[in-house]
Structure 1
Amino acid sequence: MRVLAAGSLKSVWPALMAHFPQPVDTLFGPAGLLRERIEAGEPCDLFASANRAHPTSLLDQGRALSIVPFASNTLCLTVRSDLLHPGDDWLTLLTRRNLRIATSTPGADPSGDYTQRLFTLMGDAGEVVRQRAMALVGGRDTPPVPHGRLAAEWLIREGKADLFIGYASYRSALRQIAGLTVLEIPAVFNPPAEYVCAVITPQAEALTAFLASPLAKSVLRQAGFGG
């Protein structure tokens, strides 16, 4: 069985597949770009996206048999610790004009789309932040994140940005890295990310059922995702 899956699932995927009896060949990447590969004819049995839009598009085109939600996520903010001032929170950091803000790439990567939604929910302040934000990962032409590195850690450590907006499922790992601080974004501003499978062939139905099962949801929760 061949799966194309959102890159944010890469770290939890081995724990999930340990409970699934059939061998699975999985390719990870930005969900928008993976959808384009399926549309171009690349073989795959299951597409696991970090949003509903891409699987729904395949369903509408007749390229998918069904779509099934299986997990959720939110956003968080990671900043270089030595840039924090007393009393800082996510909002003061995003609106501090001398800080460089990095995001994933809208359109190609759902993380970038959710970040754009965050800016919209922020109102006028968010429009200013939107103009300053740099899409540095997850795009068609952006450099790949090196193997074994997290996007936030890599961009900040390499001096490409001062803070990064990305998935909250990475926060536990990021909090173990010296020199980085992770801040929560309040729910009222934080757009929920919905992970949805597109069943491309009947062979994927068993895996789809497993991903939506209580066991898989437990594994996902332990890895920082919502069930």
Structure 2
Amino acid sequence: MTNRIMGLIPLVAMLSASMLATGCQGSRAAIEVKTELIVYAASSLVGAFAELEIGFEEANPGIDVKTTFAGSQVLRFQIEQGGPADIFASANQDHMEALVGGGQITNSLIFAGNDLVVIVPKANPAGIQTFADLGQATLIVLGSENVPVGAYTRQLLDNAEQHFGEPFKKHVEARTVSLENNVRLVRTKVEMGEADAAIVYRSEAFSPRLTMIPIPEKLNARVRYPIGVLARSENPSQARTFIDYLLSTEGVQTLSSHHFLAVQ
């Protein structure tokens, strides 16, 4: 009897230790569970938001940011169809205002600015030196009218028409060979040598394969980036924490390093 009990003692001890270890592992697993924060962001924010995500997660280890990048019009449609986003960052105010008006987003704020520039291949086959020379290009790529960069480009061309005269806008439109659904696709066409020139955001123009040609401020479009938390977000507190980080000194410095403009 005594021997049998004594023989059970090591077994009980082993089982207890095993259960304790399992319990500790379970506790650690519970502690390591992170809140998933889903961000929908405009294509032109890819580089900046990828870096912001790293810095934010280091400062907030309990939050795992998952970012989807696409044209703002695509992301707006996905949100309207019930897409599971917590945050929406748009490349223009029209899409944001539509979502605020529809009740999908309660309010928004502007966190960054940009402007438009002309880009040409390094070899510059059309010999474009200034914005006024754009009409001499034979292969021009622009954003589609329904995407932010395309809408801003139309504003720019309207301004240029008033400044240079009607032929300027007509020459540009007549030489436009492709309309793209986001600014990254516009830039890629020029990088691949499929276009003599294109109009993109300044933040997209920094590439070793491109030359950037500035556009006069008096003609340029006023590009603004709004951000907002979805009304149906399951993580509104974490979403606000992300936006606070975006507006912090670290966030502003990251945006600036990717050539976005500060806004008041």
TM range (shorter): 0.7 to 0.9
More helix by share: 2
Tell me the CA shift for residue 73 of structure 1: 0.7
Task: State the SS of the aligned residue for 2:113.
Answer: strand
CA contact (8 A) 2:126 2:196 kept: no
Specify which of 71, 74, 77 is matched with residue 118 of structure 2: 77
Task: State the SS of the aligned residue for 2:211.
Answer: strand
The number of equivalent residue pairs is 209
Which residue pairs with 1:14 in the alignment?
50
Specify which of 120, 130, 138 is matched with residue 99 of structure 1: 138
Write out the 4+ residue segments of structure 1 that deviate beyond 6 Å after TM superposition: none
Aligned pairs (5 A) from 1:122-201: 122-123=160-161, 124=166, 125-138=168-181, 145=185, 151-152=186-187, 154-172=188-206, 174=207, 176-177=208-209, 180-200=210-230, 201=233
Rounded Cα–Cα distance in structure 2 between residues aligned with 1:212 and 1:157: 32
Task: State the SS of the aligned residue for 1:10.
Answer: helix
Rounded Cα–Cα distance in structure 1 between residues aligned with 2:178 and 2:240: 35
Asked which structure has the greater RCO (Cα within 8 Å, sep 6+), the reply is 1
Using structure 2 for the length normalisation, give the TM-score: 0.73
Rounded Cα–Cα distance in structure 2 between residues aligned with 1:130 and 1:198: 35
CA contact (8 A) 1:78 1:181 kept: yes
Task: State the SS of the aligned residue for 1:50.
Answer: coil
Which residue pairs with 1:148 in the alignment?
none
Tell me the CA shift for residue 74 of structure 1: 0.8
Task: State the SS of the aligned residue for 1:83.
Answer: coil
Cα distance change of structure 1 residues 131 and 212 upon mapping to structure 2, 3 Å threshold: farther
Rounded Cα–Cα distance in structure 2 between residues aligned with 1:119 and 1:29: 25
Task: State the SS of the aligned residue for 2:77.
Answer: helix
Specify which of 106, 109, 115 is matched with residue 68 of structure 1: 109
Q: Quick check: 110-119 or 197-206, which moved more?
A: 197-206
Which residue pairs with 1:117 in the alignment?
155
Tell me the CA shift for residue 182 of structure 1: 1.4
1:73-118 deviations in whole A, cap 9, x for unaligned? Answer: 1111111324254x831211x111x5211012221x2111111111
CA contact (8 A) 2:138 2:175 kept: no
Rounded Cα–Cα distance in structure 2 between residues aligned with 1:135 and 1:114: 16
Using structure 1 for the length normalisation, give the TM-score: 0.84
Structure ID, larger Rg: 2
RMSD: 2.0
Rounded Cα–Cα distance in structure 2 between residues aligned with 1:23 and 1:130: 44
Gaps of 5+ in 2: 1-36
